[in-house]
Chains A and B, each alone.
Chain A
Amino acid sequence: MPGMKMYVGIWFGLVVATVAEVVTRSLPGALSLLALIILLISSGKAITIALYYQNLRYEDKSLAILPIAALIGVIILVVAAGMSM
Chain B
Amino acid sequence: MTEDYENTEEHKSTWTPILLAAGIAIVLIGVVIFWPIAVAGGIMVVAALFKLFKDGAEEKFAQAKESLEEKFPLESLNKEKLGIWIFLMSEILIFGSLIIAYVYVRLSSSSWPVATQTHNVILGMTNTIILLTSSLAMVFALHSIRAGNTRGLRIGLFSTFALGATFLIIKLGIEWPQYYRNGFTINSGLPGSTYFVLTGLHALHVGAGLVAVGYLIFRSYNGGFTSTKHSSVENISLYWHFVDIVWMFLFPLFYLI
Contacts and interface: CB of A to CB of B under 8 A. Distances in A.
Interface string A60-83: 101101110111011001100110
Interface residues of A, number: 42
Interface string B61-78: 000000000000111110
Nearest to A39: B252
Main secondary structure of the interface of B (DSSP, over half): helix
A24 to B, nearest CB: 8
A49 B93 contact: no
Contacts, number: 119
Interface string B223-257: 00000000000000110011011001101100011
Contacts of A30: none
Contact of A53 (B101, B104, B241): B241
A11 B85 CA distance: 23
Given A4-B143, A18-B125, A38-B256, A77 B132 contact: no
Interface string B122-155: 0001001100110110111001001000000000
B179 to A, nearest CB: 19
B75 A60 contact: yes
Interface of A: 1, 4, 7-8, 11, 14-15, 18-19, 21-22, 24-25, 31, 34-35, 38-39, 41-42, 45-46, 49-50, 53-54, 59-60, 62-63, 65-67, 69-71, 73-74, 77-78, 81-82
